Structure 1
């Protein structure tokens, strides 16, 4: 008999919504760097890495963009990156892609797929700028006495994305500036309204703006002067409420050497796993997006290349089905069935249509039943369309810790699909938090998935001093079936328990080593094995020397700090553990009972052999007796 996974796997090249997350990982990402080239961004400053060397904010921003591009050559070769400079007098040529953008903006690198020559061009520009302090000022001359309206900057970003970015890609703009009031001129209110309007147009085109604000002691950055009125709020509060002007995740950078680390933190886009309707009642629907909170990042898939003599190109692979003789089979004629041993007399299935249009399928004896791909999908989805259907509410006390046996999703309102989704979602969330309720729902997240009963756990927005933020929304937790719940073994219940004195000693050093702010941002700590692999590939791609000693593993503990803060407490705990008699107690698990071979014994067949032999023996008996 075919395995359960084989029976449930349907190859459908036309359906992008597969059960695994390969479609999610393969989605393209587009980043447009929008770098301010005003006079203050060109001011020379001491380089934090090199002595007696001057740098500037523009140079540091270009270096960060270069490092992101170098990483994407390895981890995202299908992604695209572009660089636009604003507040500069330099203009694009009439034949360039950026020739039609607003005045004061210059497309230094048009949006295109990441490639080594493009990165080498940027590296050469940065190397020259380090040797010649005035090189960047001459290359991107700043505007004198005026600034480009931010509305024109956002409009130019929109046009650049429109012409260069794929429609299905995740599109983002990394805005880098140190000016907190770009419209400090007469008519500033009109320019502010224009900037907010054009930013809304940018958002409706599926483009997200992620700002990086540069702050310093001599020029602190105050978001309340302009950007708090322009950037769109990300909370679930309506505009007419008092706290409805919260900014999206904005980075205030006080040390320019932290710019790259902050960009890497946001380098991986927060892509939605699904965007489906949320049915609250009959004919009452809002839109939501679902995000995966836990995703394993793996090495890139291997590719096959064809040597064409003068160049290497990626080989395009495709799957075809053929039967004996090599003739290709039409995919629409492929049917699916279960293998139940050798069939006697061949397979014969007929469909009969009655007077009411119903179809009855008859199968001859000793033959298999076959189903079409559409029928197989209907078995899996039960004929439902992707959506979340609200079933009812229960007390939060009804949800137990052991009910969470699978990774949950985080859902957030999607105002673009259904107008009013944000307001309705916010009202439901606030009411459930106030009444301490959870919701029961039936969820089908994709067309090729299976419906599952879930619980919706509300989460209020929470901000920390360090900048870590828990957004408001619902956790969509798949509920387990009865078979998913396992009883606790008796030996664990009867095992020895640590005395209170030993627990107190352990609690002392654990509290000393607690993560700051009580949160752990996983984006700040990449997989060290994967990062080491990518660092070697990056050095090979750009023909640079790779020194393993210079590789930094961010997941390694700071041993000196740990020993200084809690070393003596750990020693006291270890000593108490060695002196405790219950710590050395060994609990022997009971021996398992062997299952009897009842079926073969009842049929007079031998019962000796391993599982595979016994299964084959059962199959042979059925082949000869049925």
Structure 2
């Protein structure tokens, strides 16, 4: 196999993560909403949230696109978003130059690919408000094709390709959000040819670096069946080797891409909103001379406020100021080349001036400081290892304890582009470890500026729950703690609650449990971050921010808690109060009293006698008098006790002299 030496080298201090060149060289994200405007998408239905209000699937899709844009204005202001509508007879106006001359017939670019802006979003908001007043507004603006006619999906993918080609930066991560409720768009004559054309144009789209994220709307009256058309067109993303795929098998695509409830459309979009960028791409050595490629992804990330920027006022306009860090030599007052800098300890005797700046080995004289280059410091941290994973062996999964997980784990997935056959080998290893209930032990170094750690490799099978979410197949990379990472618990003996207390607690816990047993992060945003973003959003859209209207969704609803489980909580308190085990293990609270002076404290007497004999300074140097004794003396005289030993001694002498 070829050596894995194509690294993206980064300086020490800027090396936050080993970057994957295919994803992380770009900071911009481009999303093109491709929305179906057919008769079924514009058909009026009862709103699932509001009573006596009508809506349609196209409105829900446009509303979700608007919500995503409003969120991205805050979280990703440099990103770009566009909206393409298909199966509509509306044509591009001649005055609109952004429509492009190569858009296929019955496709309309409502919003071209452009950086996010408040006026652009306000225009979409006005369209949605107009629909609320007149439910025929969308049908008037984007009249659908009649007589059951539909645009060939190959033309839709081609139009997406052209729109992204003309408007998206070449280095950006590009994605298409396909939203439709039609599971069989080509059921008439020539369907096979149209299917082949759609798959060919989709391959052209993906080869240009575009990812297609489908959102299929399924309702009880019209369930969405991916096996009719899309299972033979869309490319599979699950962990299956392409040679093993049966092209006639409709189960290649997971059913979770269908949305059973239209109100879940925004939740699904937010799940796919952030592009999945690999934190690292490294080799995985299974044995000597046997290596595959893997990518690592972070599953848990803290959302923080965006970094502020400096702006330069140029009178007519404001421009972002670029900042850089330089190192200045204090003696020469000149910029220093970072590559010529050396590192040393700040303790011990100072090194003599050395005018020799040449490289090579230098002998350190006794009493002088040794210096190290940046490469030496890197080798100390990495122990001379290159980034990668090395399989050390296997253990039973039961040996992985709960307390072993002290840091956020990473999720690794095969990288077929670096080593051919990585996906097949990775899948075989995963299935074998799941079958034998084993976990792996690996030596991990994920980036050049990190320290090697031992990790547990926990396999995960592909799973699908009732809500339709699918857990992908892969390995969880769990950093294992060293001996000094875990401290012994101060409690030597523990106590267990009785069955009666457990049952009483389980009763009110069941009443207050989260629905479906899942915690949706978007439903409970960080209140400090949400308050900050709400102010920014009001400023961006020229609105007045109302402080009183802000709602902290994380605040507990006390009234509802008492209504649902108030009596059960009271019963649990009574059960705990009457439990003998709880009473026996209750901590004993010591009464606080005035602090008494320690008996036999000879600080003042010894200090006075040393001062009288003129041996006070000598006693401090010889450690006959400690810092604590000096502080006790000063504290008894209501004097300051801060500073070093010399300061304390000077303060004592001044007091005794006065």
Q: TM range, normalised to the smaller chain?
A: 0.7 to 0.9
Aligned positions of 1:221-370 closer than 5 A = 221-238=224-241, 239-240=244-245, 245-247=252-254, 249-255=256-262, 257-324=263-330, 325-343=332-350, 345-346=352-353, 360-370=361-371
Distance 1:272 1:40, change over 3 A: same
Q: Secondary structure at the match of 1:363?
A: coil
Kindly indicate whether the alpha-carbon contact (under 8 Å) linking 1:233 and 1:244 is maintained by their aligned counterparts in 2.
no
Aligned twin of 2:142 = 140
Distance 1:423 1:40, change over 3 A: same
Distance 1:121 1:615, change over 3 A: farther
Q: Secondary structure at the match of 2:372?
A: coil
2: CA distance, partners of 1:500 / 1:52: 50
Aligned twin of 1:578 = 577
Kindly indicate whether the alpha-carbon contact (under 8 Å) linking 1:111 and 1:164 is maintained by their aligned counterparts in 2.
yes
Aligned twin of 1:110 = 112
Kindly indicate whether the alpha-carbon contact (under 8 Å) linking 2:88 and 2:145 is maintained by their aligned counterparts in 1.
yes
520-529 or 468-477, larger mean C-alpha shift: 520-529
1: CA distance, partners of 2:54 / 2:396: 62
1: CA distance, partners of 2:97 / 2:646: 72
How many angstroms does 1:339 deviate by? 1.2
Distance 1:497 1:244, change over 3 A: same
* TM-score (structure 1 length as normaliser): 0.82
Aligned positions of 1:402-481 closer than 5 A = 402-481=403-482
Kindly indicate whether the alpha-carbon contact (under 8 Å) linking 1:348 and 1:364 is maintained by their aligned counterparts in 2.
no
1:564-610, Cα deviation, whole Å (9 max, x unpaired)? 65443322111112233554521579xxxxxxxxxx99982464169
Aligned twin of 2:602 = none
Aligned twin of 1:593 = none
Kindly indicate whether the alpha-carbon contact (under 8 Å) linking 2:35 and 2:178 is maintained by their aligned counterparts in 1.
yes
Kindly indicate whether the alpha-carbon contact (under 8 Å) linking 1:350 and 1:362 is maintained by their aligned counterparts in 2.
no
Aligned twin of 1:592 = none
How many angstroms does 1:156 deviate by? 2.9
Aligned twin of 1:62 = 62
Distance 1:50 1:481, change over 3 A: closer
2: CA distance, partners of 1:57 / 1:615: 77
1:177-219, Cα deviation, whole Å (9 max, x unpaired)? 1211111221212322333344344444443322222234544
Question: What count of residue pairs does the alignment treat as equivalent?
Answer: 586
1:86-110, Cα deviation, whole Å (9 max, x unpaired)? 2234455694364334443333222
Aligned twin of 1:165 = 168
Kindly indicate whether the alpha-carbon contact (under 8 Å) linking 1:350 and 1:363 is maintained by their aligned counterparts in 2.
no
Kindly indicate whether the alpha-carbon contact (under 8 Å) linking 1:233 and 1:248 is maintained by their aligned counterparts in 2.
no
Distance 1:417 1:143, change over 3 A: farther
2: CA distance, partners of 1:317 / 1:292: 29
* TM-score (structure 2 length as normaliser): 0.79
1: CA distance, partners of 2:292 / 2:500: 54
Aligned twin of 2:627 = 608
Aligned twin of 2:529 = 530
Q: 2:185 aligns with which of 172, 182, 186?
A: 182
Aligned twin of 1:621 = none
2: CA distance, partners of 1:397 / 1:349: 59
Q: Secondary structure at the match of 1:535?
A: helix
1:353-373, Cα deviation, whole Å (9 max, x unpaired)? xxxxxx644223333222332
Aligned twin of 2:612 = none
How many angstroms does 1:147 deviate by? 1.8
Kindly indicate whether the alpha-carbon contact (under 8 Å) linking 2:255 and 2:468 is maintained by their aligned counterparts in 1.
no
How many angstroms does 1:474 deviate by? 0.9
Structure 2 gap segments, 5+ residues each: 1-9, 591-617, 632-640, 648-658
Distance 1:17 1:615, change over 3 A: farther
How many angstroms does 1:476 deviate by? 0.4
1: CA distance, partners of 2:202 / 2:16: 31
How many angstroms does 1:114 deviate by? 1.5
Distance 1:603 1:244, change over 3 A: farther
Cα root mean square deviation, aligned: 3.7
1: CA distance, partners of 2:130 / 2:394: 64
Q: Secondary structure at the match of 2:82?
A: strand
2: CA distance, partners of 1:426 / 1:560: 51
**Which of structures 1 and 2 has the bigger CA Rg?**
2
2: CA distance, partners of 1:411 / 1:505: 42
How many angstroms does 1:122 deviate by? 2.6
1:334-390, Cα deviation, whole Å (9 max, x unpaired)? 2222211450534588878xxxxxx64422333322233233223322333322121
Aligned twin of 2:637 = none
1: CA distance, partners of 2:87 / 2:322: 44
Aligned twin of 2:3 = none
Q: Secondary structure at the match of 2:335?
A: coil
Q: Secondary structure at the match of 1:108?
A: strand
Q: 1:100 aligns with which of 89, 99, 102?
A: 102
1:277-310, Cα deviation, whole Å (9 max, x unpaired)? 2222233222222121221111112222222222
Kindly indicate whether the alpha-carbon contact (under 8 Å) linking 1:347 and 1:367 is maintained by their aligned counterparts in 2.
no
2: CA distance, partners of 1:616 / 1:183: 90
2: CA distance, partners of 1:440 / 1:272: 22
2: CA distance, partners of 1:500 / 1:45: 51
Q: Secondary structure at the match of 1:455?
A: strand
2: CA distance, partners of 1:129 / 1:204: 38
Q: Secondary structure at the match of 2:34?
A: strand
1:496-548, Cα deviation, whole Å (9 max, x unpaired)? 54334323322333345444454434354322332232122212211224445
Distance 1:24 1:534, change over 3 A: farther
Aligned positions of 1:366-381 closer than 5 A = 366-381=367-382
Distance 1:551 1:199, change over 3 A: farther
Distance 1:268 1:109, change over 3 A: same
2: CA distance, partners of 1:164 / 1:486: 56
Q: Secondary structure at the match of 1:474?
A: strand
Aligned positions of 1:118-129 closer than 5 A = 118-129=120-131
1: CA distance, partners of 2:267 / 2:85: 21
2: CA distance, partners of 1:343 / 1:398: 51
